[in-house]
């Protein structure tokens, strides 16, 4: 039986089945459907004892005259016997067994019970078994919505499903339908008037429904169901499944990832194109012409083109099979030809120009224009969570991810870089730090016991700001401050605290942990951010809300811990792990303080350029970039939605100096979050009712703002921890100002 997945609005978005079958009780099968199959397969079904001697004789005579089999003699009961109890072997012995079993079936079951088995199990083509599944897969209709002509078409399929399949041969299917309609009229199972109307009825076949549940979200749902119920149950037991899926949100996230990845690809070296000799050009262009299908109007669609001429000014005249384009002189760094360099090490073989016959890739802008591109060597993962409902909003497993592919959300283990720092600074807040605590951003060297064994961590750009507040350090991702903070609170303290977050792993005992050197999956990292974004609550975001069996009995119900109300009132309901209340692992005051500090990353810090200028609502987040720009992250949230983005290559390697968290991951986050928040109310982060006090401080010194403070800043503190000393006169540099652009080398970007 078919297991069907619906979204919260009741829309069918996916199906799982070995055989597409929808069991339908006999009273729910309309008479016109029953009569159509009786007329086609066994007009005297309710009169014979399981076999029809008259029909056998008539079939034998017809087949003898024709010299081959042209007419069948099996009754519906015999077909049930064959389908349930016998093989497909064609022999007189099998036919004798079939007749004997048919007689025994008739002694055991009523006629209606036999017809029920037949109508629910007969193969009708297009993967469908039974009339209800066929009605849906051919017409997208329930049985009670079928017309007489449609019922007659289905009734004509058992004889030869592939031969009479309407999506394969419409004319032949109509002829077969009309034959069944005449049989209905002749047998008196349908009126002449109804048959005449049905004969003139157009036969409109619907395409198979496109699966709307897609990408890594589909993989998550499938894996969750298989883990809980097993693959056999999922594909054979006709489950009804409700998931919190929004197709428009998922598609927006997919488009954002595609767009962002192709933009990052422009930072990569151009790979040597495939070259075609002139004798093959015409055939190649004809092949490409048939593959366009309107791709030009789809943003970020990629399609091949052939360089026909390289003009004197460097412009490329290219043809995609449909039209010619004149491309501006490409400013693309070429990738070294490794094989050529191996053959002749002392000769430079790196190409620096295009030539006629080169196959290139064009990227559509969605408005009728194109630009030069190439198939991406870069990948990305995106995971979005509805913080209000506690449900999964979107998951993208990679560029052009397909079901069964490597899911980078849950399977890729990458270093988080500076996106790991909020967990460190949250722990520091718990240990007495405040957002205004001063820490020195200056060089530091750790000796390993010999002159050749030392560790000298650096800031991005190797520039240092001196004494800065904890807020400033987070906003501008100052590595040396993070290391000093970890050194002060203790590695063991931080490791112990990390166990409370849903990372599901142990971390190395080393100071470099402050810089996010340990590998984590995007899923675990982003779900750990849920704790910060939700005010200190830990829970597993829900992807499968409810599962019922084919009889309507609820097998599973899941409500995110921060949303479950009724289940918490009754301990019996709460026994289910998926219904337990959320676990508070962070004080709401500390959660708000780190949230408030992270808003500065977007307003003034490493995400200001990519996000802060364009996202006009309260938001908090953190960028992350690992050494040599191998991994780039941006994880950010509003009071309603948390979204995390990773960008990198599957074989960890540098993406280029500009490929930072703020430069390549944040734009994907921005496009996705703009789409998600399009119709959402603008909300600010909720301040805890108790435990927070506010003070106007000097952004540079962290002390109370004085009369001469150049850059006063309203800061949040845990009650009783705000500074009491008033700042003297200070001349702050632009990098220390909360209102001016930070120095390029002081930031991670």
Task: Please report which confidence band the pLDDT of residue 94 belongs to, taking 50, 70 and 90 as the band edges.
Answer: low
Task: Report the phi/psi class of residue 83: left, alpha or beta, with left for phi > 0 and alpha for psi in -120 to 50.
Answer: alpha
CA angle centred on 492, ends 491 and 496, rounded to 5°: 120
Retrieve residue 561's tokens.
């811990």
pLDDT of residue 576: 65
Q: How far apart are CA 557 and CA 542, in angstroms?
A: 10
Q: How far apart are CA 23 and CA 34, in angstroms?
A: 15
477 given a catalytic annotation: no
CA torsion through residues 390, 392, 394, 395, sign: positive
CA torsion through residues 2, 8, 13, 16, sign: negative
Of 56-65, 350-359, 361-370, 430-439, the one with minimum mean pLDDT is 56-65
- Tell me the per-residue pLDDT of 517-556, one tens digit each, with 9 for 90 and over: 999 999 999 999 999 999 999 999 999 999 999 889 999 9
For residues 404 and 733, which has the higher predicted lDDT (pLDDT)? 404
**pLDDT (mean) for 461-487:** 92
Neighbouring CB atoms inside 10 A of 17's CB total 20
Could you give all domains of the chain from N- to C-terminal order, each with its CATH number? 16-199 (1.10.3810.10), 269-376 (2.40.50.140), 382-539+586-676 (3.40.710.10), 692-746 (no CATH)
41 given a catalytic annotation: yes
**pLDDT (mean) for 53-60:** 54
Closest CA to 336 of 323, 321, 348, 354: 348
Is 71's pLDDT higher than 70? no
256: enclosing H helix or E strand: helix 247-265
Q: What is the C-alpha radius of gyration for the chain, rounded to an integer number of angstroms?
A: 34
Is 251's pLDDT higher than 70? yes
Is 88's pLDDT higher than 60? no
pLDDT of residue 132: 95
- Tell me the per-residue pLDDT of 395-431, one tens digit each, with 9 for 90 and over: 999 999 998 899 999 999 999 999 999 999 999 999 9
Contact by Cβ (8 Å): 337, 351: yes
- Tell me the per-residue pLDDT of 313-338, one tens digit each, with 9 for 90 and over: 999 999 999 999 999 988 888 876 54
Task: Please report which confidence band the pLDDT of residue 450 belongs to, taking 50, 70 and 90 as the band edges.
Answer: low
Alpha helices in 554-657 (DSSP H): 566-569, 571-574, 588-603
Helix axes 148-155, 31-41, angle to 10 degrees: 40
pLDDT of residue 748: 46
Identity of the highest mean pLDDT range in 163-172, 276-285, 586-595, 703-712: 586-595
Q: How far apart are CA 244 and CA 545, in angstroms?
A: 7
For residues 52 and 540, which has the higher predicted lDDT (pLDDT)? 540
Query: Which DSSP string corresponds to 82-145?
Result: HHHHS-S--SHHHHHHHHHHHHHHHHHS-HHHHHHHHHHH-B-STTEESHHHHHHHHHS--GGG
Q: Which of 380, 384, 418, 735 is flagged as catalytic?
A: 418
Contacts of residues 44-50 at CB distance under 8 Å and 24 or more positions apart, as own/partner, are: 45/75, 45/76, 45/77, 45/111, 45/115, 46/111, 48/75, 49/103, 49/106, 50/75, 50/77, 50/78, 50/99, 50/102, 50/103, 50/104, 50/105, 50/106
Written in H, E and C, the secondary structure of 504-532 is: CCCCCCCHHHHHCCCCECHHHHHHHHHHH
Q: How far apart are CA 481 and CA 459, in angstroms?
A: 9
Residue 129 makes CB contacts below 8 A (sequence gap 6+) with: 19, 20, 21, 120, 121, 122, 123
Is 91's pLDDT higher than 70? no
Contacts of residues 184-188 at CB distance under 8 Å and 24 or more positions apart, as own/partner, are: 184/35, 184/36, 184/39, 184/148, 184/152, 186/39, 187/38, 187/39, 187/43
pLDDT of residue 697: 96
Q: How far apart are CA 137 and CA 198, in angstroms?
A: 20
**pLDDT (mean) for 251-270:** 96
pTM (two decimals): 0.85
Closest CA to 691 of 535, 554, 564, 504: 535
Task: Please report which confidence band the pLDDT of residue 349 belongs to, taking 50, 70 and 90 as the band edges.
Answer: very low
Q: How far apart are CA 315 and CA 319, in angstroms?
A: 13
Q: How far apart are CA 511 and CA 509, in angstroms?
A: 7
Neighbouring CB atoms inside 10 A of 62's CB total 14
- Tell me the per-residue pLDDT of 643-676, one tens digit each, with 9 for 90 and over: 999 999 999 999 999 999 999 999 999 999 999 9
Retrieve residue 164's tokens.
């009479």
CA-to-CA separations, 439 to 214, 433, 494, 728, in angstroms, rounded? 47, 10, 18, 19
- Tell me the per-residue pLDDT of 578-631, one tens digit each, with 9 for 90 and over: 777 889 999 999 999 999 999 999 999 999 999 999 999 999 999 999 999 999
Q: Which of 15, 41, 250, 475 is flagged as catalytic?
A: 41
Is 34's pLDDT higher than 50? yes
Q: How far apart are CA 418 and CA 485, in angstroms?
A: 14
For the chain, the 3-state helix, strand and coil shares in percent, each to the nearest 5, are 40, 15, 45
Is 348's pLDDT higher than 80? no
Q: How far apart are CA 508 and CA 694, in angstroms?
A: 37
pLDDT of residue 700: 93
pLDDT of residue 749: 40
pLDDT of residue 103: 82
Alpha helices in 397-515 (DSSP H): 421-430, 470-475, 479-489, 491-498
**pLDDT (mean) for 221-243:** 94
| Residue 685, SS3 per DSSP | coil
| Residue 452, SS3 per DSSP | coil
- The per-residue pLDDT of the chain, averaged, comes to 88
Is 69's pLDDT higher than 60? no
């Amino acid at each position: 039986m078919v297991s069907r997945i619906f979204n919260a609005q009741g829309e069918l978005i996916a199906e799982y089945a070995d055989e597409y079958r929808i069991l339908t009780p006999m009273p729910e099968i309309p008479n016109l459907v029953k009569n159509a199959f009786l007329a086609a397969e066994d007009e005297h079904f309710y009169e014979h004892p399981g076999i029809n001697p008259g029909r056998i004789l008539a079939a034998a005579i017809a087949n003898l005259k024709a010299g081959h089999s042209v007419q069948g003699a099996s009754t519906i009961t015999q077909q049930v016997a064959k389908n349930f109890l016998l093989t497909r072997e064609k022999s007189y012995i099998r036919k004798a067994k079939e007749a004997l079993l048919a007689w025994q079936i008739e002694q055991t079951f009523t006629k209606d019970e036999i017809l029920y088995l037949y109508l629910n199990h007969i193969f009708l083509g297009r993967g469908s078994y039974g009339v209800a599944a066929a009605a849906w897969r051919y017409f997208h209709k329930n049985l009670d919505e079928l017309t007489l002509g449609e019922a007659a078409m289905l009734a004509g399929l058992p004889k030869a499903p592939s031969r009479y399949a309407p999506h394969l041969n419409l004319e032949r299917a109509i002829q077969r339908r009309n034959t069944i309609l005449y049989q209905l009229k002749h047998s008196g199972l349908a009126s002449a008037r109804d048959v005449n109307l049905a004969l003139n009825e157009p036969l409109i076949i619907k395409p198979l429904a496109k699966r709307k549940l897609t990408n890594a979200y589909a993989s998550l749902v499938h894996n969750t169901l298989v883990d809980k119920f097993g693959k056999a149950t999922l594909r054979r037991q006709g489950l009804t499944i409700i998931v919190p899926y929004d197709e428009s949100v998922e598609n927006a996230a997919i488009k954002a990832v595609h767009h962002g990845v192709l933009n990052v690809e422009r930072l990569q070296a151009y790979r040597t194109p495939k070259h075609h000799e002139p004798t093959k050009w015409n055939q190649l262009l004809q092949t490409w012409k048939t593959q366009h299908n309107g791709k030009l109007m789809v943003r970020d669609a990629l399609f091949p083109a052939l360089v026909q001429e390289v003009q004197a000014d460097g412009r490329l005249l290219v043809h995609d099979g449909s039209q010619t384009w004149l491309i501006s002189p490409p400013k693309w760094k070429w990738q070294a030809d490794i094989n050529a360099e191996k053959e002749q090490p002392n000769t430079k073989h790196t190409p620096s120009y295009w030539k006629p016959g080169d196959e290139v890739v064009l990227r559509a802008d969605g408005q009728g224009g194109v630009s030069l591109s190439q198939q991406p060597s870069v990948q990305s993962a995106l995971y979005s969570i509805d913080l209000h409902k506690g449900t999964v909003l979107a998951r993208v497993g990679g560029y052009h991810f397909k079901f069964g592919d490597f899911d980078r959300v849950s399977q890729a283990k990458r270093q988080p870089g500076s996106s790991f720092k909020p967990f460190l600074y949250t722990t520091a807040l718990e240990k007495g730090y405040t957002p205004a605590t001063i820490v020195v951003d200056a060089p530091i060297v750790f000796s390993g016991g010999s002159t050749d064994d030392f560790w000298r961590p650096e800031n991005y750009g190797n520039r240092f700001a001196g004494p800065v507040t904890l807020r400033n350090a987070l906003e501008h991702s100052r590595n040396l401050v993070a290391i000093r903070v970890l050194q002060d609170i203790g590695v063991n303290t931080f490791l112990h605290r990390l166990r409370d977050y849903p990372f599901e792993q142990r971390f190395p005992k080393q100071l470099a942990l402050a810089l996010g050197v340990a590998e984590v999956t995007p899923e675990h990292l982003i779900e750990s951010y849920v704790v910060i974004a939700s005010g200190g609550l830990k829970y597993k975001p829900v992807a499968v809300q409810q599962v019922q069996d084919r009889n309507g009995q609820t097998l599973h119900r899941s409500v995110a811990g921060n949303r479950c109300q009724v289940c918490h009132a009754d301990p019996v309901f709460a026994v289910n792990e998926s219904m337990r209340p959320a676990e508070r692992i962070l004080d709401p005051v500390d959660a708000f303080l780190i949230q408030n500090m992270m808003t500065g990353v977007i307003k003034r810090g490493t995400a200001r350029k990519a996000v802060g200028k364009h996202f006009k609502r309260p938001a908090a987040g953190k960028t992350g970039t690992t050494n040599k720009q191998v991994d780039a992250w941006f994880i950010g949230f509003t009071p309603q939605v948390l979204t995390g983005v990773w960008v990198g290559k599957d074989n960890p390697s540098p993406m280029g100096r500009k490929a930072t968290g703020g430069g390549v991951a944040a734009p994907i986050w921005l496009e996705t979050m703009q789409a998600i928040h399009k119709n959402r109310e603008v909300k600010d982060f909720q301040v805890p009712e108790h435990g927070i006090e506010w003070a106007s401080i000097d952004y540079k010194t962290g002390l109370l703002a004085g009369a001469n403070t150049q850059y006063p800043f309203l800061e949040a503190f845990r009650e009783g921890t705000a500074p009491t000393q008033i700042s003297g006169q200070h001349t702050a540099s632009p990098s220390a100002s909360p209102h001016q652009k930070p120095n390029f080398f002081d930031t991670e970007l």
